[in-house]
Structure 1
Amino acid sequence: MPILLEMKNIHKVYPNGTAANRGVDLTVHEGEIHALVGENGAGKSTLMKILFGLEAPTDGTIEYKGHAVTFDGPRDAIKQGMGMVHQHFMLAPSLTVSENIVLGDEPKRGPFSLLRDRTKEFKDVEHLIKTYGLKVNMQAKVESIPVGQKQRVEILKVLYRGAKLIILDEPTAVLTPQETDELFDSIKALVSEGHTIIFITHKLREVMEISNRITVLRAGKSIATLNTKETNQEEISRLMVGRDVLFRVDKIPAEPKDTVLSVRKLGALDDKGADALRGVSFDIRGGEVLGVAGVEGNGQTELVEVITGLRKATSGEVRYQNKDLLSASVAEIRRMKVGHVPEDRQTAGASLTSSIAENLILDHYRNPEFKWGPFINQKKVKQFAKIMMETFDVRAQSEETMAGALSGGNLQKVVVARELSKNPLLLIASQPTRGVDIGAIEFIHREIIKRRDGGAAVMVVSAELSEVMALSDRIIVLYDGEIVAVLDNTPDLTEQEIGYYMLGIKKQELEATR
């Protein structure tokens, strides 16, 4: 296959001296699916921002279709036939699918092209949907469609603008196994129609399934480019991390003790005032991990927020060590040795304008170990922060680095380090490894199981079904705000079986869920 894109000796050094890319080479062939993998902070996102015109390289060259190119912004990249689908969707929820796809580039008609041509809009969008098999109701409001269909809308947006080279950044992060299979079918259809894909992901199993070639980045450098058919997950992970990685979660069978958390007939509203939880009941015992599976938007967020005091319940009760949690404040709950890793680390998990050290003691700076009379003992705080940064492999210049300057994965490590350092009796971990590389995932999983084995009750909520299955002793499945299945995590339980409950195709009888 002819070469479509060459990025040669790309360097990117920020004004504060941080080197994100240090001589990266990337060659992409026309008509291939090229996977780009690496740990957090390896330079993947920066490299793609440079390619798409969002950042300017400090040094290096880009050749596209045989010609040297420079982009002053994304619009230049789009004009050259590039498109980027970001990990976090950039859609207008109140607009229809069709309106989102053409937004900013609506077809016009009439004198001086003053009128919007709805007929041409619908015809063009329908043609794209049929051509690439990206099935979605173009008349539906985006806020009303499932997350898998929102992913398709994002892809249709770049196709509408004529993209031939498409960058997909963590495209399966919030998809069920069935939705992932459908996305892969669509990606293959795109390639068969002459498109080229750069596929950024942490999921090596998907890399092996979908890609033709793989480029591995580590510490800002390109380490190797491999033919997918000639490698395996073990080799890729070794190149990414620099050591062997254990893919399975090594754990002994759980030995559950007394009930730590009891939830009964819980009801709650979402931010729009609609029912988000409807009669949810379950227990978590000390010494076990309860996994919560479900497509995002089916009540998981509201469940976690009610338990941790961030949202009011409309009915039911929540008892922790036989204490009423629904009447307790967030601060009171935090003082009860309840750990909470929130799903959104930026808005709920950390203070971006505070240092790493300050974030690590955010809610326990009053502890005697950090006090010097009425003042905070800064020396002790720095010592603690350095230990946590080393233990959890937080990569930054120092403990005084602002949290907002960290990569997403390193910020997640700070949040996890803070919550686990308290040795909680109840740990609520929502998306604990979202955006984190495989080496850090291995470590975080091991630490969660260590807390379980130490007698803590753990609830893990994750869009990664493989993560739920790897960590959990029991699994509840939420669909439309209700528990539709309670499953023992036995060896014969499959992701596909759970996926049927997640999509509402199957539902256990009410007595079984109790």
Structure 2
Amino acid sequence: MVAIEAVNITKIYPNGVVANRNVNVQINVGEIHAIVGENGAGKTTLMKIFFGMEKPTSGEIKVFGKTVHFSSPKDAIKHGIGMVHQHFMLVPSFTVAENVMLGIAPKKGPFAVDFKKMEEIVLDYAKKLNFDVPVCEKVMDLPVGVKQRVEILKALVRGAKILILDEPSSVLTPQEVEELFQLLRKLSKEGITVIFITHKLNEVKQISDRITIMRNGHVVGTYKNQDVSETDIVELMIGRKVEYQIERTPAKPGKIVLEVKNLNYYREDGAHILKNVNFYVRGGEIFAIAGLEGNGQKELVEIITGLREKATGRILLNGVDILNKHPGEIRRLGLAHIPEDRVEVGSALDLSVAENLISDRYYQQPFSGKVIYRPSKVLAFAERMIKMFNIKAKSPSTSVRFLSGGNIQKTIVARETTSNCKIVIASQPTHGIDVASSEFIRKRLLQMRDEGKAVLLISTDLQEVLQISDRVAVLYKGEIVAHFANQNLSETELAHYMLGVKRQSWDYLKEHLT
């Protein structure tokens, strides 16, 4: 039996961008069905249509054989569809039970929530599903793998029979990925349909029953897992043969560009988020900080870049203490920043590609004279960047809002790595983007290194860390717990430190990081 079906779905946005073109796909009850494609291939739009976040321009959706019309996600939920987004939709200050039952909590009276009964309901569901979740703990204090289980539990409590997972493994360790896959297999056996969207093709092969491949808004085909290899999938995704090989020559480190000394940061509620963090980054090397999401990486980057204040310690950029300085002042001292959140922090969605590319230098030559802005110079620069970084946009005047995630990210990378910086901080630079775009960005960071720039890479992607870094530190619960030269390192070894199973001695860390 077919759980959900797209029939000739076309989606055309008001600016003329065609996201889906006559898409047809059938997803069966109880199967794990992967949908893959480059950024901009149309898979995210299709999932938004399935979940009621977008309306198709034409075509129809069928759920368990019946044609449905969704006005909002609420309609999709009523029809048994749940979605776990790439960025979790949880309230950090609420408990697990409060998040799971948000909007459907049992009441004592007309206004009062029955918290005890709410916790009992969630605990009962968790036990039935063999979920190990602490129902009374606040979400902000949970590891990322547990937060994901809370999201899945939230969908299942609402009666989801079809579960859409968007990049579910992007912030998990190999051990947590395996636990997730065991859970998905269990749900599948119980008749839950799982739609799995990811750019990690090894995981597609590991978990899926069937695979739908999309390219340029079309469905190229749907295949049984055993009938296609990873190489076949990549070639079908991009329409040509490719070889993804990144050669990392030995680093030639120079002088220290960035030095972090005894950095401490306390959250507003008193939680000690960063604890005596020490490290340095030299010109001509990529220094990576690995760790599970929520272990202080976000705060660390925001403090270094001036986006967060009230930390203590010292941060030296070419010998100048930049702690608690304004972001603009820090940038002028030679720091570039590829932020984790490409939408909220990294770009201005309503401005054009050209305007985003010069947003840090619009007041400088050649884009501005003493009083006159020079559109022709801006246009020429933007056209050059679009070509150089292979940004897929109709024109430099296209609003960034209408680019795919991968092309927004390449726009940001183009701006930041052409800014005449001394160091670039790259925070999750390939998170949630396709294979080709990921490889392009990683090669660009290596190019920056080879040009003598310092690169600080913050990443939860262990493959990325091992592929391009020269040295690796691990951040766990706000502390640096390990440091390695990247020689014969394995994902498994790193994961032990990321999970807090192992840690190196303070004397060893002091010797190598200060």
The answer for the alignment partner of 2:313 in structure 1 is 316
Deviation at 1:458, TM superposition (A): 0.7
1:504 is matched by which residue type in structure 2? G
The answer for the alignment partner of 1:507 in structure 2 is 503
Label 1:45 to 1:314 Cα distance change in 2 as closer, same or farther (>3 A).
Answer: closer
CA RMSD between the two structures: 2.0
Deviation at 1:164, TM superposition (A): 0.9
Q: How does 1:58-207 map to 2 (within 5 A)?
A: 58-108=57-107, 116=113, 118=115, 120-207=117-204
Label 1:163 to 1:374 Cα distance change in 2 as closer, same or farther (>3 A).
Answer: same
- Structure 1's consecutive aligned runs of 4 or more residues displaced over 6 angstroms after TM superposition are none
* Cα pair 2:303 2:311 within 8 Å, conserved: no
Specify the SS of the correspondent of 1:264. Answer: strand
Distance 2:348 2:181 in 1: 37
Label 1:378 to 1:65 Cα distance change in 2 as closer, same or farther (>3 A).
Answer: same
1:511 is matched by which residue type in structure 2? D
Specify the SS of the correspondent of 1:267. Answer: strand
Deviation at 1:136, TM superposition (A): 0.4
Label 1:103 to 1:313 Cα distance change in 2 as closer, same or farther (>3 A).
Answer: closer
Deviation at 1:328, TM superposition (A): 4.8
Q: Does 1:448 align with 2:419?
A: no
Specify the SS of the correspondent of 2:52. Answer: coil
Label 1:163 to 1:375 Cα distance change in 2 as closer, same or farther (>3 A).
Answer: same
Of 364-373 and 443-452, the range deviating more from structure 2: 364-373
Label 1:415 to 1:270 Cα distance change in 2 as closer, same or farther (>3 A).
Answer: farther
- TM, length-normalised to structure 1: 0.94
Q: How does 1:375-386 map to 2 (within 5 A)?
A: 375-386=372-383
The answer for the alignment partner of 1:37 in structure 2 is 36
Distance 2:475 2:111 in 1: 48
Deviation at 1:116, TM superposition (A): 5.0
Deviation at 1:323, TM superposition (A): 2.7
Q: How does 1:400-479 map to 2 (within 5 A)?
A: 400-479=397-476
The answer for the alignment partner of 2:46 in structure 1 is 47
Distance 2:62 2:381 in 1: 47
The answer for the alignment partner of 1:215 in structure 2 is 212
Q: Does 1:241 align with 2:238?
A: yes
| Structure 1 alignment gaps of length 5 or more | none
* Cα pair 1:12 1:20 within 8 Å, conserved: yes
Label 1:131 to 1:330 Cα distance change in 2 as closer, same or farther (>3 A).
Answer: same
Of 198-207 and 394-403, the range deviating more from structure 2: 394-403
* Cα pair 2:308 2:324 within 8 Å, conserved: no
Distance 1:456 1:22 in 2: 43
Of 22-31 and 100-109, the range deviating more from structure 2: 100-109
- TM, length-normalised to structure 2: 0.94
Distance 2:340 2:485 in 1: 25
2:496 is matched by which residue type in structure 1? Y
Aligned length: 510
Distance 2:325 2:113 in 1: 54
Encode CA deviations 1:94-126: one digit per residue, 9 max, x unaligned.
22211211221223578xx87755565344322
Distance 1:50 1:303 in 2: 37
Specify the SS of the correspondent of 2:340. Answer: coil
2:36 is matched by which residue type in structure 1? V
Label 1:232 to 1:270 Cα distance change in 2 as closer, same or farther (>3 A).
Answer: farther
Label 1:495 to 1:214 Cα distance change in 2 as closer, same or farther (>3 A).
Answer: same
1:471 is matched by which residue type in structure 2? I
* Cα pair 1:423 1:451 within 8 Å, conserved: no
* Cα pair 1:245 1:442 within 8 Å, conserved: no
Label 1:279 to 1:123 Cα distance change in 2 as closer, same or farther (>3 A).
Answer: closer
Distance 1:27 1:470 in 2: 37
| Structure 2 alignment gaps of length 5 or more | none
Q: Does 1:231 align with 2:228?
A: yes
Q: Does 1:16 align with 2:15?
A: yes
Distance 2:267 2:324 in 1: 19
Deviation at 1:350, TM superposition (A): 1.7
* Cα pair 1:7 1:25 within 8 Å, conserved: yes
Distance 1:74 1:463 in 2: 30
Of 341-350 and 499-508, the range deviating more from structure 2: 341-350
Distance 1:124 1:248 in 2: 50
1:73 is matched by which residue type in structure 2? S
* Cα pair 1:266 1:313 within 8 Å, conserved: no
Deviation at 1:42, TM superposition (A): 1.1
Label 1:445 to 1:115 Cα distance change in 2 as closer, same or farther (>3 A).
Answer: closer
Q: Which of 382, 385, 390 pairs up with 2:387?
A: 390
Q: Does 1:343 align with 2:370?
A: no
Deviation at 1:372, TM superposition (A): 3.6
Encode CA deviations 1:377-407: one digit per residue, 9 max, x unaligned.
1101011111112222222222122223333
